[in-house]
Amino acid sequence: MTNTSQPDAQHKAPSRLAQFWGSDIMWKFRHSPVAIVAFIFTALLVLSAVFAPLVAPHNPFDPASLNLLNGFTPPMEPNAFTGDAFLLGTDDQGRDVFSTILYGMRVSLFVGFAAVSLGLILGVSLGLVAGYFGGIVDAIIMRVADVQLTFPSILVAMLIFGIAKGVTPPEYRDEMAIWVLIIAIGLSDWVQFARVVRGATLVEVRKEYVQAARLIGRSSRSIIFGHILRNVLSPVLVIATISLALAIIAEATLSFLGVGAPPTQPSLGTLIRIGQQYLFSGEWWILLFPAATLLLLALSVNLLGDWLRDALNPKLK
Amino acid sequence: MKKFMLASVLALLASQGAHAETFKWAGTTDPQTMDPHAVNSAPVLGFLNNVYEGLMRRGRDMSIEPALAESWEALGTDGWRFHLREGVKFHDGSDFTADDVLFSYERATLPQSDVASWFATISDVKIVDDYTVDFLTTAPNPIFPDTIANFMILDRGWAEANGSTVPAKDAENFATRNTNGTGAFKVVERQPDLKTVLEPFDGWWEEATHNITRAEFTPIQNSATAVAALLSGEVDMINPVPTQDVARLSSNPDVKVAQGIEARVIMLGFGHEAEELKYGANAGDANPFRDARVRKAVNHGVNVDAIVQTIMRGAGEPVSQLVSSTMRGYSDAHAARYEYNPTLAKELLAEAGYPEGFSFGLKCPNNRYINDEAVCQATVGMLAQIGLDAQLEAMPVSNYWPELRADNYDMYMLGWAPGSFDAEHPIRFLVTTPNPEKKLGSWNFGGFSNERIDEILPLVQSEVDDTKRQALLDEAAKILQDEAGYVPLYVQALLWGTRENIDLVQRADNFFILRWVTVN
């Protein structure tokens, strides 16, 4: 086994796909049943969310297609008034639960990806800057990060959400809610990236190639983004994957608490919040299926991230 | 917020121990003020009925009985004379006299008051002596004593000393958080949206029949949380029981569900006066709701039976007027609703020039009426089927009323329970042309206006003959129905859940009266 996780593509020249398939990481992937199963589930969920309009039997956001009399239909049983049957039953408004889950997962995944991207861009940039320049810049950035780490990230997200809600006019709140959610989760998430990238940058900065680049007069920006960035990315990939699972859960938590995605654009968390009202009365399917989907999604992404961490960790070889 | 609230409730419950006579109850809505003249809504007046008192009050069966007035008599057709109870003390120990009645009348009829329309027919109030006071009317008003059971008396000295001589509707003053009534209970702690603690008033004029030593009210917005709190015994009573949990709670031996029909009619209102639509893709276009055909189309487009059957699970009755059939003056001749007929609704829209429909904003509360937000969501779906694209915005009542007062809606939801249990009441508040000077139409947010109804109202108020009075009310009901001024939906159910050791009285106006509670 070779001992590098960086692409060593230049010398051999089979097709890129074959190269990738034969790479170290793919070899590990093919030999990890957990990773394969997690990947399949993740891919399945993400694809069905992305193609929800094609997969879902109904569009739950088209109010004209709803029939209130279909409300509270149990899974796989015909409705008493209309005779319609639904795979996973319907909610209080007669919406097909299966369809709402697919559409809800879109919102959840979109918020998750966007929030992680925001946290990643912010955290990686700040981490690079802190690690490269050191001194007072480093001190300021990392102390801010330390302070933020002392608060639970969900509280930080709620704080940001609360402020944003206070300053946006009420008629735009529903439209803005998703973006505010992304910013709230993204901003509560950058510290992880910044810390890891700063640590890796500190190591890289002392290496010869950086010294050489400095000697030939390359600008700091070109050194940071042209040279160091590509050498600190692999841990970032790991954190990003695990953060995605956490961001999806954070979004669900916020939406469950009623400060996230509005009922007009329900995410999985919103669906769970709606469903738990019917837990006592026995309409279990309204809660159970979105909750199980959330669990499956977060678990798959998390396992994938865990596996990636182990696979990319040179110390575990 | 909700989380903190819950945490503090739990902490509170843990610290309280099991003192038998501490009674805890929970409701969806926190009374938004402790000022009985500032907001004319059931959560406020219902709660304050435990703290303040009026000249008369309603008994268990809603009948009028003496409270601060021991008796009253008509002064011919000029008005009413009230003989006040002697020896009544306010919570701070000061004496109750005719001057406090005059002061409360003056305060309640200020422009800042929300209850001024109770006194629309009153021309003057005169103190005869310390314990006699006259209310003089502009025209005969045979039902006046019936209409002021919620007119609560404040102490002049207390209000003046605390700068609260003017009610604060949307702002705050001392009386918003503090009370000084004559009622059976006094407020000892008030934390808005968190908890309100009451204790019995030792100096109350009547002998107490309850056995409560301390009562705590906590607003719990999440219905599942409220049910869990009741089942675990953390609270002794919840109002309302979520419609979906009635069956389960009824079969549980530890709790009881008291069911009834509330006097409250849930309806949808239109912006009648607005020139333009304010929300949705057609914002800025001419307001289609000024056309009665469009309003009729909406009436035909809402399937109330489906709402009652599915969302309310049968707990409610479709209604055709702004009062339920048990109210005095209900018009039997107009008991039929607009039938549910989406095809006809589309035809009416096409006739009015909207074959493709249009988009508009619908405002709803989400913590005021039973399943309010779910009903609005269902309405959005039904209106979509006749081509109307309703943009729903649901919000808590504390934001909701100011939004309605600021005319920020194209359509809105409203529930109305006539305080006087008479069909004249909604006409005065919701139907007659708004006129602040005459204190009329104060909850007619959309500004529905019809000349004949404006003529009918004073006639109804002064008509002594029941048959003639009913004929006038029938005429008003017909006009309102023909004009489709509102969309009356259904009469809301009363659903209270209590622990099995609690005895209480469920009054039809959904007022929860603490002095009738017994903890066994």
Q: pLDDT tens-digit profile of A73-128?
A: 899 888 888 888 889 999 888 889 999 999 999 999 999 999 999 999 999 999 99
Residue A1 has pLDDT above 50, yes or no: no
* Other CB atoms within 10 A of residue A100 CB: 28
Q: Per the CB < 8 Å rule, is A72 touching B377?
A: no
Among candidate residues B46, B8, B302, the one with its CA nearest the CA of residue B183: B46
- Range of lowest pLDDT (A254-263, B143-152, B167-176, B343-352): A254-263
Residue of B nearest to A92 (CA): B311
B311 in A contact zone (CB under 8 Å) = yes
Q: Let me know if A41 is exposed, middle or buried by CB neighbors in 10 A (0-12, 13-18, 19+).
A: middle
Global pTM? 0.79
Mutate to test the interface with A, among B310, B363, B372 (most CBs of A within 10 A): B310
Q: d(Cα B386, Cα B300) in Å, to the nearest integer?
A: 9
- Select the residue of B223, B303, B377 nearest A93 (Cβ to Cβ): B377
- Residue B148: both structure tokens together: 């002021």
From residue B207, how far is each of A219, A251, B49, B184 by CA, in Å? Answer: 89, 55, 17, 9
| Pairing mode of beta strands B22-27, B214-219 | parallel
- Chain A residues with beta carbon closer than 8 angstroms to that of B383: 63
- Select the residue of B3, B242, B382 nearest A277 (Cβ to Cβ): B242
Residue boundaries of the structural domains of chain A: 26-59+72-316
- Chain B residues with beta carbon closer than 8 angstroms to that of A258: 2
Q: Per the CB < 8 Å rule, is A277 touching B244?
A: yes
- Residue B401: both structure tokens together: 């009323």
Q: How far is B353 from chain A (nearest CA, A)?
A: 21
Q: d(Cα A261, Cα A179) in Å, to the nearest integer?
A: 10
Predicted confidence at residue B367, as pLDDT, reads 85
Superfamily of domain A26-59+72-316: MetI-like (1.10.3720.10)
Q: d(Cα B70, Cα B67) in Å, to the nearest integer?
A: 6
First CA to last CA across chain B, in angstroms?
A: 34
Q: Let me know if B7 is exposed, middle or buried by CB neighbors in 10 A (0-12, 13-18, 19+).
A: exposed
Q: B211 or B139: which carries more pLDDT confidence?
A: B211
Task: Please report which confidence band the pLDDT of residue A170 belongs to, taking 50, 70 and 90 as the band edges.
Answer: low
* Other CB atoms within 10 A of residue B275 CB: 10
Q: Per the CB < 8 Å rule, is B393 touching A171?
A: yes
The 8-class DSSP code of residue A72 comes to T
- Chain A residues with beta carbon closer than 8 angstroms to that of B394: 263
Task: Please report which confidence band the pLDDT of residue A11 belongs to, taking 50, 70 and 90 as the band edges.
Answer: low
A190-A195-A200-A201 Cα dihedral, nearest 10 degrees: 80
Q: d(Cα B325, Cα B323) in Å, to the nearest integer?
A: 7
- Percent pLDDT > 70 in chain B is 96
Among candidate residues A107, A183, A97, A193, the one with its CA nearest the CA of residue A149: A193
Q: How far is A19 from chain B (nearest CA, A)?
A: 53
Sign of CA dihedral B447, B452, B457, B460: negative
Q: B398 or B475: which carries more pLDDT confidence?
A: B475
- The backbone torsions φ and ψ at residue B72, rounded to the nearest 5 degrees and listed phi first, read -150, 155
Q: d(Cα B361, Cα B461) in Å, to the nearest integer?
A: 36
Predicted confidence at residue B487, as pLDDT, reads 97
- Residue A292: both structure tokens together: 């199980």
Q: Per the CB < 8 Å rule, is B244 touching A263?
A: no
Say if CB A259 and CB A253 are below 8 A apart. no
- Chain B residues with beta carbon closer than 8 angstroms to that of A100: none
Residue A281 has pLDDT above 90, yes or no: no
pLDDT mean across residues, chain A = 86
A269-273 contact pairs (CB < 8 A, 24+): A269/A108, A269/A294, A270/A104, A270/A107, A271/A100, A271/A101, A271/A104
Q: Per the CB < 8 Å rule, is A170 touching B2?
A: no
- Percent pLDDT > 90 in chain B is 70
- Chain A residues with beta carbon closer than 8 angstroms to that of B228: 280
- Select the residue of B228, B310, B385 nearest A71 (Cβ to Cβ): B310
**Chain segment A129-145, per-residue pLDDT in tens:** 999 998 999 999 999 99
Q: d(Cα A231, Cα A209) in Å, to the nearest integer?
A: 11
What does the pLDDT average to over A35-58?
92
Q: Per the CB < 8 Å rule, is B378 touching A93?
A: yes
Q: Per the CB < 8 Å rule, is B307 touching A68?
A: yes
Among candidate residues B208, B202, B232, the one with its CA nearest the CA of residue B220: B232
Residue A67 has pLDDT above 90, yes or no: no
Q: Per the CB < 8 Å rule, is A280 touching B244?
A: yes
Sign of CA dihedral B407, B408, B414, B419: negative
B3 in A contact zone (CB under 8 Å) = yes
What does the pLDDT average to over B238-260?
91
Predicted confidence at residue B414, as pLDDT, reads 96
B373 in A contact zone (CB under 8 Å) = yes
Sign of CA dihedral B199, B200, B201, B202: negative
- The backbone torsions φ and ψ at residue B191, rounded to the nearest 5 degrees and listed phi first, read -125, 105
**Chain segment B303-331, per-residue pLDDT in tens:** 999 999 989 988 889 999 999 988 889 99
Q: How far is B310 from chain A (nearest CA, A)?
A: 6
Q: How far is A281 from chain B (nearest CA, A)?
A: 5
From residue A58, how far is each of A5, A62, A101, A223, A266 by CA, in Å? Answer: 45, 9, 11, 52, 15
Element (DSSP H or E) covering residue B218 = strand B214-219
Residue B10 has pLDDT above 50, yes or no: no
Residue A263 has pLDDT above 80, yes or no: no
- Chain B residues with beta carbon closer than 8 angstroms to that of A281: 242, 244-245, 247-248
Q: d(Cα A21, Cα B362) in Å, to the nearest integer?
A: 56
CB-defined contacts A:B, below 8 A: 75
- Chain B residues with beta carbon closer than 8 angstroms to that of A278: 244
- Chain B residues with beta carbon closer than 8 angstroms to that of A254: none
Task: Please report which confidence band the pLDDT of residue B18 belongs to, taking 50, 70 and 90 as the band edges.
Answer: very low
Q: Per the CB < 8 Å rule, is B310 touching A69?
A: yes
The 8-class DSSP code of residue A60 comes to T
- Range of lowest pLDDT (B16-20, B30-34, B392-396): B16-20
Predicted confidence at residue B269, as pLDDT, reads 96
Residue B17 has pLDDT above 80, yes or no: no
Predicted confidence at residue A6, as pLDDT, reads 52
Q: d(Cα B316, Cα B9) in Å, to the nearest integer?
A: 31
A169 in B contact zone (CB under 8 Å) = no
Q: How far is B435 from chain A (nearest CA, A)?
A: 29
Predicted confidence at residue B37, as pLDDT, reads 95
- CB burial string A215-240: b at 16+ within 10 A, e below: eeeeeeeebbeebbbeebebbbebbb
Q: Per the CB < 8 Å rule, is A68 touching B228?
A: no
B302-B308-B310-B314 Cα dihedral, nearest 10 degrees: -160
Q: Per the CB < 8 Å rule, is B245 touching A263?
A: no
A74 in B contact zone (CB under 8 Å) = no
Domains of chain B: 2-236+501-519 (3.40.190.10), 261-493 (3.10.105.10)
